[in-house]
Chains A and B, each alone.
Chain A
């Protein structure tokens, strides 16, 4: 931190906030030396209530009044679900869509398979019950205007402003409160979309009461593929107003209480930006992305380049990748709620597995035991929660196996009823299978661990990596209890368990960079199929790159950054011939200067392709096209400081061991007396060899036999497999 960034001599705080379904998490570093964390229940009716309550708790922990605390906060990086909630609750405004005449049904046709977007594999297999989601814009709010642009950006049919005025009036008469403009090939030539915006602004200037926001698909998402482009723009428009209102209110409340800096939002592209300069659609699913960023930070501390980030909660299991210390995997077609989009989001896959996953017997398949995908969620939750749930879940199985202390779950804040867990497993699983309740619990646990591990394996493998070279970072409420169970199915032999695992999204958010991603579709043949020659139009390629760079620079300058402090990265989506899917390559340099540069780029693509899909699959002679350009502009920041502690001996202090209890580790040995440790009494350098249980205030770490836990100098846990 530079001196100019200090606020007098006082400590300064950097705060990360992550809104979850049940809790809102807070993580705060003070002058980059100490840190503190807290949680508050998420106040879905008004997220700012929980937000301010959490800030109050942080202030209390820092020992200063809220006003003083807020005045010393240097940054607030906020990962919010306001927009997502608006989508789920369908509480957005009535929007009108202006599109190319003849294509009014594009968003309803939804590439036909929109019924399957955002639902699970099992649900999607039942063809008899498929349904498309309720649209965000109703069919009567879509109008077509005569115009046409082709693949090369050439205008085939000019736009008539008079027709636009007529159609606009039609939408206004029907009650439109905002407009989305989506025309075919507008990402190639946006002139017609811009003309429509001009007409709207002429008709309803800003100083009129009837002024309404206008969103152009060529602005929000200049990418090929009209359905995803339109849906990205529609989702953005739909949540824009709600987010703007809530964030303005929150900003005002913070200002009134003493916070003087801008509120910064976490983006799903892997960076942060001022709320006022954020596109709403980029905030979706930002929480897991913040967690993934935290993994990269932690990986750097531990000198681990390849990490699988996992977050196991009650209903879902999130998976993300750090490759060579970096976040590279972008979602090819990110689905927001039930809508395919094309935002340049970091890929964090979510599967339906968690502590609440329900175990059941598939009678049709010869009484096979299955776990999930149905979940008891947090309400009614597992049977042992005693909130009305009567179906056996993974958490019930863990409890029956002795992994959780029913008296000390979540630091004693929640009592677990083991009898209810046993009864549910006995009735629904053990009896039908004719086996003992404990054995049934063991099977439930092993099946869910296998499923999660195998899913992780696939995610890593699909990116062209050997999963066995990755370490697992486990967080989330149930991550600590299951990581030793699912890691072997990935082939991973090392698990990182961060000290902030229960607020890891907030931790990650607090460490995030200012970063902006600018991307655009622009098709160019790097190597032609017909003539077998390399791209000659280097200027055309460079023009696109420079335009993206200029746009990024302009934006970041407005936030007060100089070009020297910005790092640019160019990534390209490349394909052979007429393949649909792309392979992303990071360009070795921003601009092409010679044919040799083009060849180098083509070779890089083929090399990457061969790595992922095998050399037999490559086909350079089929022609190589670049289709999308993605420019990332990141503000260079020093690596975040983490306080180091002196290492104690391997043996934990006697007070750390709080007792023993029988835990069922395997059918071979049955229940074994297992030492229990209190996490808060462990010191850096301490080692615990499994089997053991470490109980923390907010989670439980299960150290399986053949694994050894060690707390590192930063207070984070590292578990290594010492024998297979």
Chain B
């Protein structure tokens, strides 16, 4: 026993960048031939890919099934050297649990670390962005020497919180969130401990999926272990250790080179989140990006204070993790995804803020705080890159969430609890030379897909009432954002079921436009209890909505107890035939809509991708309503008139600012905001913060 402190280890989470090179790694460098290193690197990549594919094949939860998987090879010190994933936050977050177990358990006699061991974890303080992100890793030994760790991290859709589906909207502290496990040993001698599996299953509404997901991670890790040992047999231990380290070093150097190629500058983007969990409220995520030389600094000072009894908090490491989503997918897409990238990144997080949570506060909807931050990252990144690398300047993909969550018994009487896969049906933002992609995926899980309706209906107790593009889901622009998918589900063949939803942006849009492009409209969900939907369906009622837009027309014959509510909605009982409508948001617009080619708007009109109202009032084109024939001359005149009108509305900066400064949101939504407009939170060691008011 080493005198464990038993609590979260605030020191280990500071180890985000690569650990210093060990003497053995350093000594090995001289013996590594450049060509053989490239061969080794490709082999490691192959091993990681095999691990990722295996995890995905064997897992059972929604995220696992649809590719939201990360598989990594970590150095003996815990740094992530090689990673196969489309969810890039794992590129820097996956290492922390490994560093934790190295620090706490390797030399702890009651736990230890031996060949055949396996470790499990889901405490978001170490493991990921929230406690639905669960991981499993194993040490790899060669003739008694610890070489490295391998492991997989995936979102398992149910974690036994006080609400089903992995997120607890009404959480007041971390004790409401369900399973919260710091790295523990879950297996020894190449066997999982059945008593621990049984315990985890007992703490979870969907035990079968929980166990299948754990086994999937382990199976993939074991295969990777075998492969690595083969490589070591061939290349030797020193080559392997030195090679893993060199991948990290090279990545860091490459990231710095890439950053150095951008113009220096300071880019600011304040972002606002409109939900605290189950209730409304405005909080601020204040991002300043400073690019100087070969470094980018992310400064989040001035963000709202930490929420003591609401789940909209994030650990700082989660924010850093989400910054990697932007960096790996958009800026560093041609570099390996590992925590070496952080050599080019600095960060400043204010104490006691929602972006730097401490203590026992809940972080159950941390992903929402994090994607609100990421949206700021996209905005700053676009401005930072446009002059030198314009293809990198992309308007934001949908940067909120809008996900039905559910739990109960399915049509076969089997327990299920998860989210629906349309989380991965959001739109991509407009680009400098083309529209965003309709239903492109999810920016934070770039290898994931949104499933077939049939696959979901096969073991989830609902039927989709429709699933089509939603023409009011994206931001307009010279290049419009890609549309998201609107859908409805009706509970089918069960009466033991709960439905709710997770997300933000119902009051204040989560996703703004870029360079004059429009942001997204506010999102919502609609719930109909005691619905007559199934009766109407049995008659093939021709007025039943086939698109989300039609849900809100007078012709919609569906009756029942109708609720329009915030996306952030705690689950409620639902019975056979009840319906629930939601949509995945689209991407933001790029550039002024008045510059959009009129023919593109007509094409969108024909395909139902833009409303006639938006065509006339936002794009300001003139066309004949029935034939959709464009009137070019009238369009030019109309656009000219709108531009003139804009000029007339223009104000001098000082006048505008004076008016703007006088405005403020209603006080009832600022309860958790802190001092308005600048909450004034500061990083440790900087000037003392002004009063950071909080409930």
Contacts and interface: CB of A to CB of B under 8 A. Distances in A.
Nearest to B45: A454
Interface stretch (B49-57, B145-153, B160-168, B684-692): B49-57
Interface stretch (A108-116, A311-319, A385-393, A683-691): A108-116
B531 to A, nearest CB: 14
B38 A579 contact: no
Contact of A224 (B449, B454, B468): B454
Given A184-B453, A226-B454, 11 more contacts: A102-B467, A104-B546, A108-B439, A109-B439, A125-B333, A127-B428, A128-B394, A129-B391, A129-B431, A151-B457, A623-B208
B540 interface: yes
Interface string A572-610: 000011111100000000000000000000000000000
Contacts, number: 259
A461 interface: yes
Interface string B44-71: 0010011001101111100001110000
A131 B606 CA distance: 21
Contact of A156 (B412, B466, B534): B534
Contacts of B412: 525, 530
A204 interface: no
Contacts of A616: 187, 190-192, 215, 218-219, 222
Interface in A131-160: 131-132, 139-140, 144, 146-148, 150-152, 156-160
Contact of A139 (B208, B439, B542, B608): B608
Contacts of B43: 450, 454
Interface string B227-271: 100000000000000000000001001100110000000000000
B607 interface: yes
A56 B128 CA distance: 67
B209 A577 contact: yes
Interface of A: 101-106, 108-113, 115-116, 122, 124-132, 139-140, 144, 146-148, 150-152, 156-160, 163, 184-185, 224-228, 363-366, 368-370, 443, 446-447, 450-451, 454-455, 457-458, 461-462, 489, 523, 525, 529-530, 576-581, 613-614, 616-619, 622-623
B411 interface: yes
B35 interface: yes
Contacts of B223: 461, 613-614
Interface stretch (B440-448, B496-504, B518-526, B593-601): B440-448
26 contacts: A103-B464, A111-B451, A112-B424, A112-B450, A113-B448, A125-B334, A127-B330, A128-B333, A139-B606, A139-B608, A140-B607, A150-B457, A151-B457, A157-B539, A159-B540, A369-B35, A447-B35, A450-B39, A489-B39, A530-B412, A578-B459, A580-B60, A616-B215, A617-B58, A619-B211, A622-B212
B547 interface: yes
Nearest to A449: B39
What bracket does the count of chain B residues touching chain A fall in? Answer: 35 or more
Contact of A366 (B42, B254, B391): B254
A127 B39 CA distance: 26
B208 A622 contact: yes
A577 to B, nearest CB: 5
Given A109-B439, A113-B441, A364-B258, A578 B60 contact: yes
A124 B437 CA distance: 14
A3 to B, nearest CB: 51
Interface string B488-501: 00001100000000
A455 B46 contact: yes
B463 interface: yes
B450 A111 contact: yes
B438 interface: yes
Contacts of B414: 529-530, 623
Contacts of A124: 447
Nearest to B50: A458
Given A151-B458, A458-B50, A579-B212, A112 B39 contact: no
Given A128-B333, A462-B50, A616-B222, A225 B455 contact: yes
A54 B618 CA distance: 62
B554 interface: no
Interface in B2-55: 34-35, 38-39, 42-43, 46, 49-50, 53-54
Nearest to A370: B38
B440 A617 contact: no
B457 A617 contact: no
Nearest to A462: B50
Given A103-B468, A616-B218, A131 B437 contact: yes
A433 B596 CA distance: 47
A489 B208 CA distance: 39
A566 to B, nearest CB: 32
A288 B392 CA distance: 38
Interface string B452-496: 111101110001111111000000000000000100000011000
B439 A110 contact: yes
A139 B39 CA distance: 46
Contacts of B59: 579-580
Given A108-B469, A139-B608, A226 B546 contact: no
B227 A461 contact: yes
B53 A127 contact: no
Contacts of B46: 454-455, 457-458
Contact of B212 (A146, A614, A619): A619
A369 B38 contact: yes
A98 to B, nearest CB: 14
A368 B218 contact: no
Interface in B354-395: 391-392, 394
B335 A364 contact: yes
Contacts of A128: 329-330, 333, 391-392, 394, 431
Nearest to B424: A112
B670 interface: no
Nearest to B584: A112
Nearest to A440: B35
B667 interface: no
B413 interface: yes
A113 B86 CA distance: 12
A365 B258 CA distance: 10
B455 A106 contact: no
A327 to B, nearest CB: 21
B574 interface: no
B60 A576 contact: yes
Contact of B53 (A451, A462, A619): A462
A578 B208 contact: yes
Q: When A and B form their complex, which 6 residue pairs have the shortest distance between CB atoms, in order from nearest?
A: A102-B466, A617-B219, A127-B329, A580-B65, A581-B57, A113-B449
Interface string B426-442: 00100100100111110
Contacts of B465: 102
A184 B537 CA distance: 15
B467 A106 contact: yes
B571 interface: no
Contact of A109 (B57, B448, B450): B450
B540 A160 contact: yes
Given A103-B453, A128-B394, A158 B540 contact: yes
B439 A577 contact: no
Contacts of A454: 39, 42-43, 46
Contacts of B492: 150
A95 to B, nearest CB: 16
A152 B461 CA distance: 12
Contacts of B35: 369, 443, 446-447
Contacts of A368: 34, 38, 250
Contacts of A365: 250, 254, 335
Contacts of B544: 102, 146
Given A150-B457, A365-B250, A102 B58 contact: no
Interface centre among A101, A151, A158 (most CB of B within 10 A): A151
Nearest to B394: A128
A226 B454 CA distance: 7
B538 interface: yes
